[in-house]
Each structure stands twice: as structure tokens, then as C-alpha cells.
Copies of this chain bind each other. A is one copy, B any other.
Amino acid sequence: MTAKAQATRERLLVAAKQLVMSKGFAGTSIDDVLKATGLTKGAFFHHFKSKADLADQLMRWYAENDMKMFRTFLAEAEAAHDDPLQQLLHFLTDFEAYLCDPDHPPRGCMYALYTYEDDHFENSVKDFVSEILRTWTAMYIRKFQEVIDRYPPAREVTAKQLAEMIVAVIEGGLILERAHRNPGMAARQSEQFRAYLELLFPTASEQKAA
């Protein structure tokens, strides 16, 4: 694939993402994508063998970018602190800033979008979404386990519970954000979650204050 072809593929994916995020996948026609890019059917079906294939490639492309961002933030946080809890809080605040960034539409999460239209997707796509969410969760679990190992939680809690909660909280926040057309609600949810963490690990907070 030449660089130009690569660029064309990217144009299609970018436009598709934009449209899908505001109209849903089934609600986005191939013609919509072509109108948005100025390309034609020939171009589309050269890069994607069907609409279902677009669903697949779009999700994988989205997840790849997503993961890249995740890892960047995580690496940054790990470089900035030794303490695992401080790393987590740092990561979350970075992520909150990202969520609030006005240059960053469209708002929302494509994993959530796909799950609410799942009857249209092949099992491979659904499994992929599930797997990606599990990967996110697993990365959180690791960090939370480190935290729990170091600081006694004020209440019995597992790393998995906390990991799933932060994912849920952000997904839910994004929904509220969209429903109320009020950017920042997802970030505020993450903030509340941090408040929970501070109550859970009071000894860590004391250490930080010291």
C-alpha cells in the first residue's frame, strides 16, 4: 500500500469515525462517508471489502489509537512518581484533561456505541471490543494491586472491583456528557472516583501530605 493509499484509507476512517460517533453505525451509510470525504464507491470498496469490514477495521483502528494514548499517559505517570497510587492519580488527572480537551470531539466512546448496536456486528468484532475493554481493565488491575499491596485499604476491596469501577464511571460519565451536551461531566466522574480512592487509602494520603 502506497503512502497515498494509506492516506486515503485514513481519510475514510476519520470520516467514518466522525459520522458513526454521532449517528451510530447502522445510521451511517457508505454514501455518507463518501460524501464527507469526496471519494467514491470504488475507493471505498478498494479499502474495505464490505460495510461489516469497515466496522471491523474502524474498531481496530480506533482501539489502536486509544491504546497508544493510554500507554503514553501511563508511561508519563510512571515516570513522574514512584508511588503506584500517585501514578494512578496522575494518570487520571491527565486523562481528565484529555476528556475535557475541546479540540477532541467527537465526545463519547466507540466501545460503548458498538455495544449498543451489537446485533449488527459479527462475533469477531464483539469479541474484540470485549477483549479491548478487558485489556484496559487489566492495566488498571495491575496498578490497583500494587496500591493495595502497599497501603491497607480502609475497607476490603479488590483490584478488579476498582478497575472495573473506573472504567464504568468514565463510560457512564461520557453518556451523561452526551445526553446533557455538557462536556466535562465524564472528567467530573473521574474526579469523584479519585475522592473514593483517597478515602480508601488514607495512609497514602497522609504520606503524600507529609
Contact = CB atoms under 8 A, between A and B. Distances in A.
Copies in the complex: 2
A24 B116 contact: yes
A193 to B, nearest CB: 8
Chain A contact residues, majority secondary structure? helix
Interface in A165-210: 165, 167-173, 175-176, 178-181, 185-186, 188-189, 192, 195-196, 198-200
29 contacts: A22-B118, A23-B26, A23-B117, A23-B120, A24-B25, A24-B26, A24-B27, A24-B120, A26-B26, A26-B27, A27-B27, A111-B175, A112-B112, A112-B179, A116-B116, A130-B179, A130-B180, A133-B180, A161-B188, A161-B192, A164-B185, A164-B189, A165-B192, A168-B168, A168-B173, A172-B172, A172-B173, A196-B196, A196-B199
